[in-house]
């Protein structure tokens, strides 16, 4: 019977040949330095998952057709659809940039009523003027 061992690494499953099949290890006191990948630790695994999540969300933000606009009524920079116009929000009592014929809709991430136009969806976007990152309704 041949004794074979396996080891799971970051690269995948590595099969190690038995000692008899490796002539360089015929002497049990002799050792050979092999370069092989080290398994991930908990910190590295957490970092990899965090970076993976950031990369996964990046295309969503870049596909959003929201652009930064100056809201003259609120004197602020806002992320809004390209056809946005200043619109009063009757629920919040504020002026927002929204598509024409927008209606108040609850944003489940911010817990605020926002003016949302037809065909807009909740997307994760970044405002380059303020540096804010968050969920916004965009086309």
d(CA 122, CA 61): 10
Element (H, E) at 53: helix 42-63
Could you tell me the residue ranges of all domains in the chain?
5-39, 59-138
Contact (CB, 8 A) for 116 and 89: no
The pair of structure tokens assigned to 28 is 């049990």
Q: What is the pTM of this model?
A: 0.50
Q: Residues 97, 102, 103, 108: is their CA dihedral positive or negative?
A: negative
The pair of structure tokens assigned to 109 is 């991430």
* pLDDT, tens digit (0-9, with 9 covering 90-100), for 73-131: 989 999 888 889 999 999 989 999 998 889 999 999 989 999 999 889 898 888 899 98
pLDDT mean across residues, the chain? 75
How confident is the model at residue 19, as a pLDDT? 53
How confident is the model at residue 2, as a pLDDT? 55
Q: Which of 17-26, 65-74, 112-121 has the lowest mean pLDDT?
A: 17-26
Residues facing residue 136 across a β-bridge: 123
């Amino acid at each position: 019977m041949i004794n074979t061992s396996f080891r799971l690494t970051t690269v995948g499953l590595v099969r190690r040949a038995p000692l008899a099949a490796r002539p360089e290890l015929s002497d049990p006191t002799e050792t050979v330095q092999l370069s092989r990948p080290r398994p991930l630790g908990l910190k590295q695994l957490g970092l990899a998952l965090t970076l993976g999540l950031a990369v996964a969300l990046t295309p969503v933000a870049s596909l959003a057709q929201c652009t930064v606009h100056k809201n003259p009524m609120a004197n602020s920079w806002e992320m809004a659809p390209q056809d946005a116009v200043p619109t009063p929000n009757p629920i919040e009592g504020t002026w927002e940039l929204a598509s024409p014929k927008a209606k108040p809709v609850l944003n489940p991430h911010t817990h605020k009523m926002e003016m949302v136009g037809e065909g807009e969806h909740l997307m994760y976007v970044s405002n380059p003027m303020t540096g804010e990152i968050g969920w916004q309704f965009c086309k």
